[in-house]
Amino acid sequence: MVGNGGAEVAAGLQELINHPPSPATFGDLRVSLDYRVIDVATSYIVACTKFSLGSTFDTASPRLTRFIRLYADHMSIANDLASFEREKRAYANGKAQYLLNTVEEVRKMCSLDNDEAAKFATLAIQMEVERKMARELSRLDADGETSKTEREFLSALVFLAGGNVMCSIIMSRYGGKQSAV
Protein backbone atom coordinates (compact mmCIF):
# COMPACT_ATOMS: atom_id res chain seq x y z
CA MET A 1 0.00 0.00 0.00
CA VAL A 2 1.30 3.43 -0.96
CA GLY A 3 1.26 6.34 1.48
CA ASN A 4 -0.28 6.13 4.91
CA GLY A 5 -2.89 3.49 4.11
CA GLY A 6 -5.82 5.89 4.11
CA ALA A 7 -5.27 7.40 7.57
CA GLU A 8 -5.93 10.88 6.11
CA VAL A 9 -9.19 9.60 4.60
CA ALA A 10 -10.33 8.34 8.00
CA ALA A 11 -9.25 11.60 9.68
CA GLY A 12 -11.15 13.67 7.10
CA LEU A 13 -14.30 11.62 7.61
CA GLN A 14 -13.94 11.92 11.37
CA GLU A 15 -13.58 15.71 11.07
CA LEU A 16 -16.82 15.85 9.07
CA ILE A 17 -18.73 13.64 11.49
CA ASN A 18 -17.55 15.52 14.57
CA HIS A 19 -17.75 19.12 13.39
CA PRO A 20 -19.94 21.34 15.58
CA PRO A 21 -23.30 22.76 14.52
CA SER A 22 -23.30 26.10 12.77
CA PRO A 23 -23.26 29.27 14.87
CA ALA A 24 -26.36 31.44 14.58
CA THR A 25 -24.43 34.16 12.75
CA PHE A 26 -21.04 34.68 11.16
CA GLY A 27 -18.97 37.84 11.48
CA ASP A 28 -17.90 37.88 7.86
CA LEU A 29 -17.83 35.78 4.73
CA ARG A 30 -14.39 34.29 5.52
CA VAL A 31 -15.67 32.93 8.85
CA SER A 32 -18.70 31.48 7.07
CA LEU A 33 -16.56 29.82 4.39
CA ASP A 34 -14.17 28.49 7.03
CA TYR A 35 -17.12 26.71 8.65
CA ARG A 36 -18.39 25.48 5.29
CA VAL A 37 -14.99 23.95 4.45
CA ILE A 38 -15.71 21.31 7.09
CA ASP A 39 -19.42 21.21 6.28
CA VAL A 40 -18.79 20.21 2.64
CA ALA A 41 -16.18 17.60 3.67
CA THR A 42 -13.18 19.27 2.03
CA SER A 43 -10.57 17.47 4.14
CA TYR A 44 -12.22 14.16 3.32
CA ILE A 45 -12.42 14.95 -0.41
CA VAL A 46 -8.79 16.10 -0.53
CA ALA A 47 -7.66 12.98 1.33
CA CYS A 48 -9.71 10.68 -0.92
CA THR A 49 -8.26 12.38 -3.99
CA LYS A 50 -4.70 11.91 -2.75
CA PHE A 51 -5.43 8.32 -1.72
CA SER A 52 -7.06 7.45 -5.07
CA LEU A 53 -3.93 8.66 -6.87
CA GLY A 54 -1.66 6.63 -4.60
CA SER A 55 0.26 9.79 -3.71
CA THR A 56 2.58 10.19 -0.75
CA PHE A 57 3.21 13.97 -0.66
CA ASP A 58 2.01 16.17 2.20
CA THR A 59 -1.31 17.88 1.41
CA ALA A 60 -0.65 20.23 4.34
CA SER A 61 2.45 21.57 2.60
CA PRO A 62 2.50 25.39 2.72
CA ARG A 63 3.09 25.36 -1.04
CA LEU A 64 -0.30 23.74 -1.66
CA THR A 65 -2.44 25.25 1.09
CA ARG A 66 -3.47 28.35 -0.90
CA PHE A 67 -4.78 26.29 -3.81
CA ILE A 68 -6.53 23.80 -1.53
CA ARG A 69 -8.16 26.71 0.34
CA LEU A 70 -9.38 28.21 -2.95
CA TYR A 71 -10.65 24.79 -4.04
CA ALA A 72 -12.53 24.44 -0.74
CA ASP A 73 -14.08 27.89 -1.13
CA HIS A 74 -15.10 27.05 -4.69
CA MET A 75 -16.78 23.82 -3.59
CA SER A 76 -18.77 25.66 -0.93
CA ILE A 77 -19.78 28.59 -3.11
CA ALA A 78 -20.80 26.47 -6.11
CA ASN A 79 -22.80 24.12 -3.90
CA ASP A 80 -24.50 27.04 -2.13
CA LEU A 81 -25.44 28.78 -5.38
CA ALA A 82 -27.12 25.60 -6.60
CA SER A 83 -28.86 24.75 -3.34
CA PHE A 84 -29.94 28.22 -2.22
CA GLU A 85 -33.57 28.11 -3.40
CA ARG A 86 -34.16 24.66 -1.92
CA GLU A 87 -32.50 25.57 1.38
CA LYS A 88 -34.39 28.86 1.61
CA ARG A 89 -37.71 27.06 1.01
CA ALA A 90 -36.87 24.48 3.68
CA TYR A 91 -36.01 27.25 6.14
CA ALA A 92 -39.17 29.25 5.32
CA ASN A 93 -41.32 26.11 5.72
CA GLY A 94 -39.77 25.27 9.09
CA LYS A 95 -38.00 22.17 7.79
CA ALA A 96 -34.56 23.65 8.56
CA GLN A 97 -33.51 25.39 11.76
CA TYR A 98 -31.18 27.82 10.01
CA LEU A 99 -30.19 28.98 6.55
CA LEU A 100 -26.47 28.31 6.22
CA ASN A 101 -25.66 29.36 2.68
CA THR A 102 -23.10 31.66 1.07
CA VAL A 103 -25.80 33.44 -0.94
CA GLU A 104 -27.65 34.33 2.26
CA GLU A 105 -24.42 35.42 3.96
CA VAL A 106 -23.56 37.69 1.01
CA ARG A 107 -27.10 39.13 1.02
CA LYS A 108 -26.87 39.97 4.73
CA MET A 109 -23.29 41.22 4.75
CA CYS A 110 -23.77 43.44 1.71
CA SER A 111 -27.24 44.60 2.82
CA LEU A 112 -28.73 43.53 -0.51
CA ASP A 113 -32.45 43.96 -0.96
CA ASN A 114 -33.18 40.75 -2.83
CA ASP A 115 -31.99 37.23 -3.48
CA GLU A 116 -31.23 37.81 -7.17
CA ALA A 117 -28.68 40.50 -6.32
CA ALA A 118 -27.16 38.18 -3.73
CA LYS A 119 -26.93 35.35 -6.27
CA PHE A 120 -25.21 37.61 -8.81
CA ALA A 121 -22.77 38.86 -6.16
CA THR A 122 -22.07 35.30 -5.03
CA LEU A 123 -21.51 34.18 -8.62
CA ALA A 124 -19.03 37.05 -9.04
CA ILE A 125 -17.22 35.83 -5.93
CA GLN A 126 -17.13 32.30 -7.36
CA MET A 127 -15.69 33.62 -10.62
CA GLU A 128 -13.01 35.54 -8.71
CA VAL A 129 -12.11 32.37 -6.81
CA GLU A 130 -11.77 30.59 -10.18
CA ARG A 131 -9.41 33.33 -11.42
CA LYS A 132 -7.35 33.01 -8.23
CA MET A 133 -7.22 29.23 -8.69
CA ALA A 134 -5.92 29.67 -12.25
CA ARG A 135 -3.28 32.17 -11.09
CA GLU A 136 -2.20 29.86 -8.27
CA LEU A 137 -1.89 26.90 -10.64
CA SER A 138 0.23 29.06 -12.96
CA ARG A 139 2.43 30.09 -10.05
CA LEU A 140 2.88 26.48 -8.94
CA ASP A 141 3.71 25.39 -12.49
CA ALA A 142 6.23 28.22 -12.91
CA ASP A 143 8.08 27.74 -9.63
CA GLY A 144 9.74 24.54 -10.81
CA GLU A 145 9.26 22.86 -7.43
CA THR A 146 5.87 21.25 -8.04
CA SER A 147 6.32 17.50 -8.43
CA LYS A 148 4.56 15.37 -11.03
CA THR A 149 2.39 13.77 -8.32
CA GLU A 150 1.46 17.19 -6.92
CA ARG A 151 0.49 18.37 -10.42
CA GLU A 152 -1.61 15.23 -10.88
CA PHE A 153 -3.31 15.92 -7.55
CA LEU A 154 -3.97 19.60 -8.37
CA SER A 155 -5.35 18.59 -11.76
CA ALA A 156 -7.67 16.11 -10.05
CA LEU A 157 -8.97 18.86 -7.75
CA VAL A 158 -9.68 21.06 -10.80
CA PHE A 159 -11.66 18.19 -12.36
CA LEU A 160 -13.51 17.69 -9.06
CA ALA A 161 -14.40 21.39 -8.92
CA GLY A 162 -15.77 21.20 -12.46
CA GLY A 163 -17.69 18.05 -11.60
CA ASN A 164 -19.13 19.73 -8.52
CA VAL A 165 -20.42 22.62 -10.64
CA MET A 166 -21.87 20.23 -13.23
CA CYS A 167 -23.49 18.05 -10.58
CA SER A 168 -24.90 21.09 -8.82
CA ILE A 169 -26.46 22.31 -12.07
CA ILE A 170 -28.07 19.07 -13.22
CA MET A 171 -28.85 17.31 -9.95
CA SER A 172 -32.56 17.30 -9.18
CA ARG A 173 -31.73 17.69 -5.47
CA TYR A 174 -30.72 21.26 -6.21
CA GLY A 175 -32.65 22.41 -9.24
CA GLY A 176 -35.78 20.33 -8.82
CA LYS A 177 -37.24 17.87 -11.29
CA GLN A 178 -36.82 20.34 -14.17
CA SER A 179 -33.03 20.16 -13.68
CA ALA A 180 -32.74 16.38 -13.65
CA VAL A 181 -30.92 14.70 -16.53
Mean of pLDDT over the chain: 89
pLDDT, average across residues 139-168: 93
Q: Is the predicted pLDDT of residue 66 greater than 50, yes or no? A: yes
pLDDT, average across residues 158-175: 82
What's the pLDDT at 1? 47
Within the chain, how many helices (H) and strands (E) appear?
Answer: 8, 0
pLDDT grade, residue 174 (50/70/90)? low
Q: Are 49 and 71 in contact (CB under 8 A)?
A: no
What's the pLDDT at 16? 85
pTM for this prediction: 0.89
Superfamily of domain 7-179: Farnesyl Diphosphate Synthase (1.10.600.10)
Q: For the segment 86-101, what is each residue's pLDDT rounded down to a tens digit?
A: 899 999 999 988 888 9
**pLDDT above 70 covers what percent of the chain?**
92
Highest mean pLDDT: which range of 1-15, 33-47, 133-147: 133-147
Q: Are 107 and 117 in contact (CB under 8 A)?
A: yes
pLDDT, average across residues 2-19: 82
Of the chain, the end-to-end C-alpha distance in Å amounts to 38
What's the pLDDT at 7? 86
What's the pLDDT at 5? 63
Q: Are 102 and 80 in contact (CB under 8 A)?
A: yes
Three-state SS letters, the chain: CCCCCCHHHHHHHHHHHHCCCCCCCCCCHHHHHHHHHHHCCHHHHHHHHHHHCCCCCCCCCHHHHHHHHHHHHHHHHHHHHHHHHHHHHHHHCCCCCCCCCHHHHHHHHCCCCCHHHHHHHHHHHHHHHHHHHHHHHHHHHHCCCCCHHHHHHHHHHHHHHHHHHHHHHHCHHHHCHHHCC
pLDDT, average across residues 105-119: 95
